[in-house]
């Protein structure tokens, strides 16, 4: 069975871990934070995001938690609309509306798609190589050398993996 290491338990990392696990991969997700605390606020997901969540079995759960937005779009800095649509128009055109929900609710839905033991909290990726080797360090400074068939770097703006690889 192929093995993946996902670095970072934000929305991207959790989604990648859920998708890989759903396709039969063994997955280990490493997150530097000691816990998955509710962070951020609300976010909007378009019809394409809902379809992507459908592919990992999370779309209906998100639809059940989300509120459909009325009207949305993109404005110029002066407030003039560049593009504007309604939830009804998006539903008619794309099959789903744009929905709004709290970030913590989306994280909970994604986390629920992962079996126990996959998410390793307090585990910071400190090195990575193109060959799939990853070094993690825990809060006590203990290093662990890991290897996987695939490494997904989703550890954000201060990505150790990106720094090591690019």
Residue linked to tokens 């407030």: 79
Residue 23 has what pLDDT? 96
Residue 40 has what pLDDT? 74
Number of Cβ atoms within 10 Å of the Cβ of 101: 18
131 vs 31, higher pLDDT: 31
The pLDDT-based confidence of 44 (bands split at 50, 70, 90) is confident
- Quote the pTM value: 0.87
Element (H, E) at 52: helix 47-55
Provide the 8-state DSSP code for 132: S
Quick one: what percent of the chain has pLDDT higher than 90? 63
Residue 87 has what pLDDT? 79
The pLDDT-based confidence of 66 (bands split at 50, 70, 90) is confident
Number of Cβ atoms within 10 Å of the Cβ of 59: 18
3-class secondary structure, 163 = helix
**Each residue's pLDDT tens digit, 1-14:** 999 999 999 999 99
Give the mean model confidence (pLDDT) for residues 130-152: 92
What radius of gyration do the chain's Cα atoms show? Answer: 18
Number of Cβ atoms within 10 Å of the Cβ of 20: 21
Number of Cβ atoms within 10 Å of the Cβ of 62: 19
Delimit the domains of the chain by residue range.
3-38+113-165, 42-104
Q: 3-38+113-165 falls under which CATH superfamily?
A: FAD/NAD(P)-binding domain (3.50.50.60)
Residue 24 has what pLDDT? 97
Quick one: what percent of the chain has pLDDT higher than 70? 99
Residue 26 has pLDDT above 90, yes or no: yes
* Contact between 3 and 21 (Cβ < 8 Å): no
94 vs 31, higher pLDDT: 31
């Amino acid at each position: 069975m192929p093995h993946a290491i996902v670095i970072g338990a934000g929305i991207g990392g959790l989604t990648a871990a859920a998708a890989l696990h759903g396709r039969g991969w063994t997955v280990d997700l490493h997150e530097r934070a000691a816990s998955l605390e509710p962070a951020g606020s609300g976010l909007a997901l378009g019809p394409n995001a809902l379809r992507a969540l459908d592919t990992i079995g999370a779309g209906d759960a998100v639809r059940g938690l989300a509120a459909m937005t009325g009207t949305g779009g993109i404005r110029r800095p002066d407030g003039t609309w560049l593009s504007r649509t309604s939830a009804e128009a998006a539903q008619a055109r794309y099959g789903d509306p744009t929905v709004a929900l709290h970030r913590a609710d989306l994280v909970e839905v994604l986390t629920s798609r992962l079996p126990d033991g996959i998410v390793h909290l307090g585990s910071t990726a400190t090195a990575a190589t193109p060959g799939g080797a990853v070094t993690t360090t825990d809060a006590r400074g203990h290093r662990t050398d890991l290897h996987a068939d695939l490494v997904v770097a989703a550890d954000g703006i201060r990505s150790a993996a990106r720094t090591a690889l690019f």
